[in-house]
Each structure stands twice: as C-alpha cells, then as structure tokens.
Structure 1
Amino acid sequence: MNLQQRNNIHVQGDGKQTMIFAHGFGCDQNMWRFMAPRFADRFRVITLDLVGAGGSDLRAYDRSKYASLQGYADDLIEIACEYGIGPVQFVGHSVSAMIGMLADLKAPGTFASHMMIGPSPCYINEGDYVGGFTHEDIDSLLDTLESNYLGWASNMAPAIMGVPDRPELGAELTASFCRTDPEIAKQFAKVTFMSDNRKDLPDFRTPTLIIQSSDDLIAPMAVGDYMHRALPHSMLRVVTNIGHCPHLSAPSESSDAMDEFLDRLDRP
C-alpha cells in the first residue's frame, strides 16, 4: 500500500517549498478548504487524512501502532520525506500539532517550521497546569464515547466548533465525527485526551507559531500561554474566535497570522 492511498494524500501548487496540513480528532482534510488554497501559489501544498479518518485506507489501521501519537508521527515523517520539496512547513490542528512535534523530534531537520492551530500538550489539569479538563471530565468523556459515540458526537461537535451564529459548521463537524469508524474514534480519543507531551516542549527548537482562539472549549487561553512560555522559539497569535476550529470559523485571521510568521522566517 503506497502513502497516497494510505493517507488519501492530495497535492496542489508547485512551489519550491512544501506545506503539509494535518487535521485534528474527528476531522479530515476537507477542514482545510478555506486555508490550504491560499498558500498553493507559493508552496507545494499537501493535505492528508490521518489513518482511520476521512478517505484514508482503513486496512492500514493497526491498533498497536496507533495506540500512541508516535504511530501517526511516524506516518508524517514518511510523508514529509516522500512528498517534501525544500523545507517542509507543517500546519497541524489540535492533536496533529503534537503529532508534528513528535515527528520533528524523531527526525530533526525534516521540518523548517510548525504552525499549530489550537494545540494542547496535555488536556488534563495537574498542579499549577491548566489543561481545561479534570481527570473526572476526561474519564466521563471516554465513558460516554464508549457507550454512545454517535450521541456524544451529535452533542459535542457543535460545542467544539463554537460559532453559534454559523450552525452549518457545527453540523459539518458532527457529520465528520459520525463518518469516522466508532471503534477507531474511541481509541484515537483515548490516545488524544490522555496524552501528555509537556516534557517534550523545552527540547523542541524548531520555529513555531501558536494560533490560539480567544474562546476555546478544548484548548483554553491558559494552554496557549503555557506553550508559548515553554517553547524556546515560538510566536503566539490570538485570533478572535469562539471555538476550536479557527481554520474554519476564522480562516482569514488565521491565515494572516501564518503569513506574518512565514514573513518573519524569511527575514535575515
């Protein structure tokens, strides 16, 4: 099975540098439709579906491999090496931001920069760290997923998306959640919400942009601030947006932040 088939890879643009977009939990590459084309005149733009999501080949799903985020990170390294031309700029939403970081740490030099949209190194409050959820919250979430995944998706997707004045986006995310194989979604949810990558942040020295929504149920402002303090070479930009998906609900403001970041990288 080749990488294109495994991850449903699509390529647009023919720039001298490569930009790879990777989606978050419950989503697929269609979520980048407002942003990816904006960069196709300057970059070779790669969009993909994580194995188990969207149009990926479900035959490639291995519960052992994908029992940790490193399994997805290993896939990303393969894709960057196969499709990358020139420096690879990586754009990761939510959990894919951490997948990108893990890939970079394992294969230094593969990525020139990271643009993280709504990232979180740990979703659970611990001591002085505010991740947004208690252990009990996450246990309850995972229990609900296990007993009634479709019901959870229908209730949670609109809340995760936010922007109550645009209910069509909440409906789109609900549909995306519901298209995902429930057994795969349950495992990916556990891997995502139980992950803790805080210890990796100080060692991560690739230039990084953090795009933080001003009101985010999944990754609150405290998380963006924490990551900005912990990452040695980071830039934080807060976009005015309610919800966890500013690449859908505030694409222009998110793209502007990316342009500013990329311009800074190009300066001597």
Structure 2
Amino acid sequence: MVQAPPHELSVQNCVPIAQKELKVDLRKRNNVHVIEAVRPDAPVLLYAHGFGCSQHMWRHITPAFEGKYRQVLFDYVGSGQSDPATFDPVKYACLQGYVQDVLDVCDVLGLKRGVHFVGHSVSASIGLLAAIERPELFERMVLVGPSPCFINHLPDYQGGFERKDLEGLLDLMDQNYMGWASYLAPVVAGEPQGDSLGGELSESFCSTDPMMARIFAQATFFADNRAELPLVTRPCLILQHRNDALVPTAVGEYLHKQLKGSTLEVLDVTGHCAHMSHPHLVTAAMQRYLSPA
C-alpha cells in the first residue's frame, strides 16, 4: 500500500511534479456531470465539494439554478465516484493537485471564461488558487465555509486548531479510520442536524479509500494559503457559518479583509455545511450575489 506523507511535510510549499502525458478520459476520471441550461450561452456554475465529500452534496443547491445556469459538478480524484486508478499520492499531497483537477474539468468542457466557482471548505482555497493561476477563466467566486489555514498563528491569526490537535486527528485516521469518521462527522454537521447530516457525512467519509482520504486530509488541514490571498483578483462572496466548530468567525473576517472587493455574509447556521443543512440560505445568498445589479 502507498504510504501517506508524514506529518512534517510542508504542504503549502509542496511543488507539484510534472505529470506524464497520459491519455485519460477526464470526464470519467473526475465523474463530471453537466446540468444544461435553456440557453447554450448561459453562465456557468462550477461546484467543488469539500474534503471527504462528493458532488452529491450539492443536490439541494442545483435545483434553484436549473434552466438559467449551465451547472457543472465533479469529484476530485480520490473522492466520490472518481476513477481511483488515476490517484497519484504525490500529485494530491498538496492542494495544487486538486487545483489541477478544477482546471482540467474546465478545459475538457471547453470553458474559457465567465465561470462562477462555488467551493465548500477546502475547495474555497482550491478555487482561489485556480483563480490566481487562470484569472481570465473565472467571473466570481462563492466560498462556503472557507479557511485559508486551519492552524492558529496567534496573535495575528485564529484558525481554530493547534497543530498538535490536527496531528492527533490524523493519528486517529491511521489507527481507527471508522472511529475517526464517527467522531468527525457530527462535529462537521453541527447541532441540531447532527444525527441525519452527521450520518450522511460519516457514510461519505467511510466510503472513501482510507489512504486517499488520509492524503487529502493532510493537504487540507495543514495547508496555509494566507500569503496568496492578496493575489486574488476575482470578486468573492464569503459565506461564513455563525457557529462552526472547524472555522471560527474570525476567519471569515480575516478573509474579508484580505480579499479585495469581497462580500462577507454570516449565515445563522450551526455546523460546517450550510449547503446541506440550510440550502435555502445558501441559494438565496448566491442569487443575490450573482444577479445583475
């Protein structure tokens, strides 16, 4: 079995290794699905799921935009119904590997500009990095529960966790993967929807290959993309959960200050997955933000 990278790997400085040119069916690799719009020139919504999740988590959001937007859904390699045979533990040891997935999906669909990116949790950072690399590709960014860094760097930054806490979480993954999933899922779900949503999240975590999940978890929780934030030129909507065990409200305020021209909206939600627990709040915020002035 391929070994997961050690805790000491500095994922924010991970430099992706040049990939060999392979003839890969990218639609199959990333399980790409498109909900077509009425007009062929309709604007595009590209949804990117969080760690341990899949495109299925957006099912409560997409109906609100059917007909008016061309909606693109996909799974990162190693998640959901993606092709596990294409997983590269080196490529996906840092967020840049997932950034490449986003760009590859856009390329295979012939998307060149005007994409509205909707990313949950770590996908918010992935989307911002993609927008830095290809700013002409994106129109606006919708960030649901974003965090550029989960680790505290006091007194200047409150990410929510001490490094040793996250190392302990990864140790639990190594020792008891099912126990880790059972512990983390209700924390992510939050109360009072912990039972139903927590069960769905736990099932999603458990259905993911443990080795692939371990690598994505380390890339997620040990990334630090604060230095890249001033490089973002696309307008952003930050949707912060009011009571989020993973992302303190201070993170949303920090992002709002660092992302020029951004809009911060605090949702009266407990948990880390408003698009699943309170989709009406997310769709309403998106509609306000995306509608022409």
Same fold (TM over 0.5): yes
Structure 1 residue aligned with 2:120: 93
Per-residue CA distance 1:124-146 (angstroms, 9 max, x = gap): 00022000001121111111111
Q: Report deviation, 1:56.
A: 0.2
Q: Report deviation, 1:203.
A: 1.2
CA–CA distance in structure 1, aligned partners of residues 193 and 288 of structure 2: 28
Select between 127-136 and 113-122 the one with higher mean Cα deviation: 127-136
CA–CA distance in structure 1, aligned partners of residues 73 and 205 of structure 2: 19
Structure 2 counterpart of 1:171, one-letter code: G
Within a 5 Å distance, the mapping from 1:1-268 to structure 2 comes to 1-14=24-37, 15=39, 16-83=42-109, 84=111, 87-127=114-154, 128-165=156-193, 167-263=195-291, 266-267=292-293
CA contact (8 A) 2:238 2:265 kept: yes
CA–CA distance in structure 2, aligned partners of residues 114 and 214 of structure 1: 20
CA contact (8 A) 1:5 1:56 kept: yes
Structure 2 counterpart of 1:132, one-letter code: G
Provide TM-score, normalisation by structure 1.
0.96
Per-residue CA distance 1:178-215 (angstroms, 9 max, x = gap): 00000111111111100000001111110100011110
Q: Secondary structure at the match of 2:71?
A: strand
Q: Report deviation, 1:108.
A: 2.0
CA–CA distance in structure 1, aligned partners of residues 89 and 273 of structure 2: 27
CA contact (8 A) 1:6 1:57 kept: yes
CA shift in 2, pair 1:165/1:115, >3 Å: closer
Give the CA RMSD over aligned residues.
1.2
Select between 25-34 and 35-44 the one with higher mean Cα deviation: 35-44
Q: Secondary structure at the match of 1:41?
A: coil
Point out where structure 2 has 5 or more consecutive residues left out of the alignment. 1-23
CA contact (8 A) 2:115 2:139 kept: yes
Structure 2 counterpart of 1:10, one-letter code: H
Percent identical among aligned pairs is 45
CA–CA distance in structure 2, aligned partners of residues 243 and 167 of structure 1: 12
Q: Report deviation, 1:163.
A: 3.0
Structure 2 counterpart of 1:138, one-letter code: L
CA contact (8 A) 1:163 1:249 kept: no
CA–CA distance in structure 1, aligned partners of residues 135 and 118 of structure 2: 17
CA–CA distance in structure 1, aligned partners of residues 286 and 104 of structure 2: 24
Aligned length: 265
Per-residue CA distance 1:86-129 (angstroms, 9 max, x = gap): 51000000001111111111112111111000000000000220
Q: Secondary structure at the match of 2:135?
A: coil
Q: Secondary structure at the match of 1:109?
A: helix
Runs of 4+ in structure 1 off by over 3 angstroms are none
Higher helix share: 1
CA contact (8 A) 1:23 1:29 kept: yes
Provide TM-score, normalisation by structure 2.
0.88
Q: Secondary structure at the match of 1:196?
A: coil
Structure 2 counterpart of 1:56, one-letter code: S
Point out where structure 1 has 5 or more consecutive residues left out of the alignment. none
